[in-house]
Amino acid sequence: MNVVPDTSVVIDGRVSAAIEDGRFEDATVCVPEAVVAELEAQANDGLDSGWDGLSELQRLAELADDGEIDLEYVGERPSAIERGHASEGEIDALIRDLAEEYGATFVTSDIVQAEVAKAKGLEVDYISPEVRRVGTLQIEEYFDEETMSVHLKTDAVPMAKRGALGEMHYEEIADEPLDEETMDEYAREVVDGAREASGGFIELSEPGMKIVQFRDYRIAIARPPFADGIEITAVKPIAQTDIDDYEHADELKGRLLERQRGVLISGSPGAGKSTFAQSVARYLSTHDYAVKTMEKPRDLQVGPEITQYTALGGQMEKTADALLMVRPDYTIYDEVRKTDDFEVFADMRLAGVGMIGVVHATRPIDALQRLVGRVELGMIPQVVDTVVYIEAGEVSTVYDVKTEVKVPAGLTEEDLARPVILVTDFQTGEPAYEIYTFNRQVVTVPLIDEEGGPGRESGVDRIAKQEIEREIRSVARGYVDVELKSQDRAVVYVDEDDISSVIGKGGGRITDIENRLGIDIDVRTHDENPHYGTNANASASASADMGGPGGQREGQLVTPEITSRHIVIPVDGSHGETVEVQAGGDYLFTATVSRGGEIQVSRGSAIADELERAIDRKDPITVVSS
């Protein structure tokens, strides 16, 4: 009797089992080289199915050595083109052809393969895939009622995070490290359990990394070469909370039920963001709202009435398109991290779906700031109108977000009125932050400091000083220093030679500047500046570079503008030339002036950081021909 098994039945280990049961006694088992090639490719990709199949081939070799069967490898190894079309049935066709050639019984656990082979007139032995009941996993023994996550790694002592929300401790939970054989056994059990258990599935399968959902556990398995050893991280929720367990629950419930909203639930890792999101999802679901989730991986613990969606085809954009057809009232998006996530969140919110996003943030305002640059500034309050900050498992802060056209706090001239995003403490009604565009950059200005008092200096004052400096530098050739005395009064220090230029005939020029900025400006020389010293040395260095006393090369004093993405340095009359950019007389970098007469430096680079520090120090920035 000749037997030709296909890949599916080899992976299942059912061939050796049938031999041991006497089903294929004294048979000649003809293993196609195509099966070997498939198993080898899967094992090289880190897939357990490949390793399972290779283990089965070793068992068949042992049975052949014991005289139980004859074992042959037949056929030719498939070409790269044939392997590339395996999903289209090319490899399956090669295996069926060999069964026909050898007059063999075709053995498979693939129902489609079995039906095709029968249609081709082959003798088929279909062995249904083995389904076994999965009880508990060995790694579950490391959990107790206070364990949130277990961390296992080859040659390391098992660790766990245990305790109450906000009071977690990372601690050893065993005396001896785990060896590679034990870790491999744990990993295989987890993957097999996810495939076979009700409520289990493999969320992500990539070479070297698998993410598995097994009942209440989310388990990540990393293997070399992706990791430097086998590592298993298992997470289980330890708390099921109700929204009524949180402070200000009544106000929050009323706010959520009033209409569909855009909400960001923020906090640091382990603070209890997802636990709170689950309580919100359950509450909304029991109050006549259709609730869905978007998760990758699916991690939230919600009831069966809430469908949990993952990335469709690996893309949340496709999931969003599908959800718009499902028409949920609210969608829980866990977690919103990358630019694509924020864009999907915004698109769904603007389509009228209530959106609740879970975001990592170390301060309440940070969650909102992550939208800046990803969503048009004026649209932010339409995308997010509520920010909930979770700390140590409790609702710490709730912000209300809306837009008003007003003069920003700390500025007085009506001409400076603009759209301002007001971030208000939901409980007290006190304004906490303002976000608006000033001098072509988006600024977030705190209205209270950490102690709860006025917080003007770090925000409004800095911006106001920059604007005054820009105006004065447009008419002064030397170094400019600004000291803000109050919200409506400033002192400007300039070189003595620039006094007349800044003041203008009859004081007309400085009056125009004062009217534009809505602030009284007192113009004085640097000698009258009590802090004059370090800046004077910098000014002298710049003067030397610009061809002043002792200078060899003539330079141009410039005023950089900081935008959301670039630092823009305007340069007059040097289009296409290579120039040096200096700060306080010290060389920073060399660049070529664009046709538009400017140099752009991308923010976030080392050069940009050094240039920004120089601007903050009030160092004069000069451009010198190379």
Query: For residues 51 and 457, which has the higher predicted lDDT (pLDDT)?
Result: 51
Cis peptide before 335 (omega within 30 of 0): yes
Residues paired with residue 5 on neighbouring β-strands, in sequence order: 107
Residue 220 φ then ψ, to 5°: -105, 130
Q: Which of 338, 332, 341 is nearest to 261 (CA)?
A: 332
Dig out the tokens for 410 from the structure: 């700390």
Secondary structure of 170-195 in HEC code, one letter for each residue: EEECCCCCECHHHHHHHHHHHHHHHH
DSSP state of 75: S
How far is the C-alpha of 50 from the C-alpha of 52, rounded, in Å?
5
**Residue 435 shares a structural domain with residue 463:** no
Residue 559 φ then ψ, to 5°: -120, 100
What is the per-residue pLDDT across 114-129, written as a single tens digit (0 to 9) for each?
899 999 899 999 887 6
Q: Cβ distance 413 to 407 under 8 Å?
A: yes
User: Which of 75, 95, 126 is a domain's end point?
Assistant: 126
User: Which of 126, 156, 173 is a domain's end point?
Assistant: 126
**Residue 257 shares a structural domain with residue 222:** no
How far is the C-alpha of 291 from the C-alpha of 300, rounded, in Å?
13
Locate tokens 């295996």: which residue?
95
The three-point CA angle 359-360-366 to 5° equals 90
**Residue 484 shares a structural domain with residue 423:** no
Amino acid at 278: Q
Which class for 142: exposed (0-12), middle (13-18), buried (19 or more C-beta within 10 A)?
buried
**Residue 252 shares a structural domain with residue 326:** yes
Residue by residue, DSSP assigns 46-74 as T-HHHHHHHHHHHHHHHHHHTTS-EEEEE
Q: Which of 329, 341, 140 is nearest to 232 (CA)?
A: 140
The answer to the question of residue 164 being in a domain is yes
The answer to the question of residue 170 being in a domain is yes
The answer to the question of residue 470 being in a domain is yes
Indicate if the alpha-carbon torsion angle 419, 423, 424, 427 is positive or negative: positive
**Residue 117 shares a structural domain with residue 179:** no
- pLDDT over 60 (residue 87): no
What is the per-residue pLDDT across 547-578, written as a single tens digit (0 to 9) for each?
433 333 457 888 888 887 888 888 887 777 77
What is the per-residue pLDDT across 176-208, written as a single tens digit (0 to 9) for each?
999 999 999 899 888 888 877 766 788 788 888
**Residue 331 shares a structural domain with residue 389:** yes
Dig out the tokens for 203 from the structure: 């969320």
Residues paired with residue 512 on neighbouring β-strands, in sequence order: none
Mean pLDDT, residues 242-264: 88
DSSP state of 501: H
For the chain, count helices (H), then strands (E). 19, 32
3-class state of residue 135 by DSSP: coil
Dig out the tokens for 580 from the structure: 């040096």
Question: What is the b/e burial string over 339-357, where b = at least 16 CB atoms within 10 angstroms of the residue's CB?
Answer: eebbebbbbbbeeebbbbb
What is the per-residue pLDDT across 223-243, written as a single tens digit (0 to 9) for each?
998 999 999 999 887 666 788
Indicate if the alpha-carbon torsion angle 401, 402, 408, 409 is positive or negative: negative
What is the per-residue pLDDT across 571-601, written as a single tens digit (0 to 9) for each?
887 777 777 888 887 777 777 788 778 888 8
Round the CA-based radius of gyration of the chain to a whole number and report it. Answer: 35
How far is the C-alpha of 421 from the C-alpha of 403, rounded, in Å?
4
DSSP state of 457: I
Locate tokens 């200000």: which residue?
248
- Tell me, what CATH number does 474's domain have? 3.30.300.20
What is the per-residue pLDDT across 400-436, written as a single tens digit (0 to 9) for each?
999 998 887 766 666 678 889 999 998 888 999 999 8
What is the per-residue pLDDT across 388-404, written as a single tens digit (0 to 9) for each?
999 888 899 999 999 99
**Residue 222 shares a structural domain with residue 258:** no
How far is the C-alpha of 335 from the C-alpha of 353, rounded, in Å?
17
DSSP state of 586: E
> What does pLDDT average to over the chain?
83
The answer to the question of residue 534 being in a domain is no
Dig out the tokens for 154 from the structure: 């080859």
Residue 464 pLDDT: 72
- Tell me, what CATH number does 205's domain have? 3.30.450.90
How far is the C-alpha of 465 from the C-alpha of 621, rounded, in Å?
17
Percent of the chain with pLDDT over 70: 88
The answer to the question of residue 533 being in a domain is no
How far is the C-alpha of 3 from the C-alpha of 27, rounded, in Å?
7
Q: Which of 213, 210, 186, 184 is nearest to 198 (CA)?
A: 213
Dig out the tokens for 293 from the structure: 């989730």
User: Which of 528, 551, 568 is a domain's end point?
Assistant: 528
**Residue 113 shares a structural domain with residue 149:** no
DSSP state of 143: -
- Tell me, what CATH number does 55's domain have? 3.40.50.1010
The answer to the question of residue 535 being in a domain is no
Dig out the tokens for 102 from the structure: 């050898």
How far is the C-alpha of 51 from the C-alpha of 54, rounded, in Å?
5
The three-point CA angle 540-571-567 to 5° equals 90
**Residue 384 shares a structural domain with residue 406:** yes
**Residue 180 shares a structural domain with residue 260:** no
Q: Which of 561, 585, 563 is nearest to 571 (CA)?
A: 561
Q: In whole angstroms, how far apart are CA 367 and each of 128, 364, 579?
A: 51, 6, 41
Q: Cβ distance 482 to 523 under 8 Å?
A: no
Total structural domains within the chain: 5
Of all helices (H) and strands (E), which one includes residue 600? strand 598-602
Q: In whole angstroms, how far apart are CA 106 and each of 5, 21, 154, 258?
A: 6, 18, 41, 64
Residues of the domain holding 226:
138-235
Q: In whole angstroms, how far apart are CA 54 and each of 28, 72, 107, 191?
A: 19, 15, 17, 17
The three-point CA angle 394-398-399 to 5° equals 160
**Residue 231 shares a structural domain with residue 247:** no
Q: Which of 355, 163, 172 is nearest to 270 (CA)?
A: 163
Q: In whole angstroms, how far apart are CA 614 and each of 50, 370, 491, 622?
A: 59, 26, 21, 11
The answer to the question of residue 538 being in a domain is no
**Residue 506 shares a structural domain with residue 548:** no
Q: Cβ distance 159 to 170 under 8 Å?
A: yes
Amino acid at 82: E
Secondary structure of 250-295 in HEC code, one letter for each residue: HHHHHHHHHCCCEEEEEECCCCCHHHHHHHHHHHHHCCCCCEEEEE
Q: Cβ distance 282 to 221 under 8 Å?
A: no
0.85 cut: is pTM over it? no
Q: Cβ distance 571 to 608 under 8 Å?
A: no
- pLDDT over 50 (residue 261): yes
Query: How many Cβ atoms are within 10 Å of 394's Cβ, its own excluded?
Result: 16
The answer to the question of residue 579 being in a domain is yes
Of all helices (H) and strands (E), which one includes residue 418? strand 418-425
What is the per-residue pLDDT across 282-338, written as a single tens digit (0 to 9) for each?
999 999 899 999 988 777 878 889 999 988 888 999 999 999 998 899 999 988 988
Residue 316 pLDDT: 93
Q: Cβ distance 458 to 446 under 8 Å?
A: yes
Percent of the chain with pLDDT over 90: 27
Residues paired with residue 205 on neighbouring β-strands, in sequence order: 210
- Tell me, what CATH number does 351's domain have? 3.40.50.300
